[in-house]
Amino acid sequence: MNLLMCPVCRQVLQLHNRTWRCASNHSYDVAKQGYVNLHVVQHKHSKNPGDTPASVQARRAFLSAGHYAPLQQAVVQKIRTLRIENLLDIGCGEGYYTAAMQGEVLQCVGVDIAKNAVQVAAKLNPAVTWVVGTGATLPVLEHCIDLCASLFSPIPQHEILRVLKPQGYLLVVTPAPEHLLAMRQALFEEVKPHEPEKFITQLQTTFDLIDASVVETPLQLNQSDLIHLIAMTPYAYKAKAERRQALEQRTQFDVTAQHQIYLFQKK
C-alpha cells in the first residue's frame, strides 16, 4: 500500500525507478543513501532545520552503546502486542527506535525535519521508508496509518488525526519526572521535575489513554558516553558553559534514565 503523499498537491506518490511521482508529475528522487526529501522549500522556515550534525552524531554514538536498549525493547514490545500493519515515526531522528520498530510491522515510515539525521538513519534499515519532512504537513495520505509514534518529538495533533485510521494509535515517549535528574542537578542551579502528564491533557479531547508505563534504567557512564549524552540533549546549549565543562571532566558518572510511555487510541 502506498502511504506517501505529495507535499505540493497532496496526491498519492508512486515509486518508479527510485523516483517518487504523483499524478500531477511532481517528482522526488530517492537519494543514494536511500531516503527521499519531501520537505519542500515553501514549508521551510530555515535552511537547515532540526538537530545539528553534532547532536545527531552524539546521539548515534550514545544509543549505539546500548544505554537506552531497555526503552527500545519496551517500545518494540508495546507495538508487538497491537498486531498492526504499519506505523509512522514522527521525528525519527537518526533512526535508532524506528529501525527496531520496523520489525513488528509490514510498512514503516520514518520522518524527520533534519536531513542530516535522516541520512544517518537510512543506513540502519533499508526496509524503512525514510523521509525528510515536516510534522506541520506530514507527507502521508489521510487515514492510512495504524500507529503514529512520537519519541521525544513534538506532537502535531491535527496532522496525526488526519493520517491515523479510525481508532488508530498514538505512542508517545517523553521524559518521566526524574529523568537524568543527577545530570540536570549538575548542569543547572534550579531543577524542576519533567511533567509528562501535560500530554494527557493536550490529547484528552481526541484520544483515549489506554496504557501508561515507566521504563527506568540506571546508567554508569564513562567520560565519552557522558559527553555524548550531554551533547544530544537540549541541556548542551541551555546550561552555562562552565557547568557543562566541569561535568564533562568527570571520568565516571552515575545517573538514572526515566522514560514515560503513553499509548493513546483515537476516539
pLDDT bin (cut points 50, 70, 90) of residue 109 is very high
Alpha-carbon distance of 202 to 157, in angstroms, equals 9
- From CA 201, how far away is CA 210, in angstroms rounded? 14
d(CA 145, CA 153): 18
Residues in a beta bridge with 13 = none
Do residues 88 and 149 touch, judged by C-beta distance below 8 A? yes
Say which DSSP state 134 is in. Answer: B
Q: What is the pLDDT of residue 43?
A: 53
Query: Could you give all domains of the chain from N- to C-terminal order, each with its CATH number?
Result: 34-266 (3.40.50.150)
* pLDDT of 46 above 70: no
Q: Note the pLDDT tens digit of each residue in 188-221.
A: 999 999 999 999 999 999 999 999 999 999 999 9
Contacts of 32 (CB under 8 A, 6+ apart): none
pLDDT band at 47 (very low <50, low <70, confident <90, very high): low
The predicted structure's pLDDT at residue 40: 83
Confidence (pLDDT) at 101: 98
- In sequence order, what are the residues at sequence separation of 6 or more whose Cβ sits closer than 8 angstroms to the Cβ of residue 264? 169, 170, 171, 172, 203, 207, 208, 209, 210
Minimal CA–CA distance to 247: which of 178, 186, 179? 186
pLDDT band at 51 (very low <50, low <70, confident <90, very high): confident
Nearest-Å Rg of the Cα atoms of the chain is: 19
Spacing of C-alpha 80 from chain mean position: 18
Q: What percent of the chain is predicted at pLDDT more than 70?
A: 96
CA–CA dist 154, 173 (Å, integer): 11
**What is the Cα–Cα distance from 171 to 149, expressed in whole angstroms?**
5
| pLDDT value, residue 197 | 97
As given in the structure block, the three cell numbers for residue 60 are 548515534
Could you tell me which residues come within 8 angstroms of residue 160 by beta carbon, excluding any fewer than 6 positions away? Answer: 90, 138, 148, 150, 170
pLDDT of residue 41 exceeding 90, the answer is: no
Mean pLDDT of 150-155: 96
Residue 180: per-residue pLDDT:
98
Instruction: Find the range with the poorest average confidence among 44-48, 86-90, 152-156.
Output: 44-48
Q: What would the pLDDT profile of 219-256 be if each residue is shown by its tens digit?
A: 999 999 999 999 999 999 999 999 999 999 999 999 99
pLDDT attached to residue 48: 58
The per-residue pLDDT for 117 is 96
C-alpha dist (Å) from residue 235 to 53, 55, 181, 224, 230: 16, 11, 12, 16, 6
H/E stretch holding 108? strand 107-112
Taking residues 88-103, what's their average pLDDT?
Answer: 98
Short-list 113, 254, 100, CA closest to 173: 100
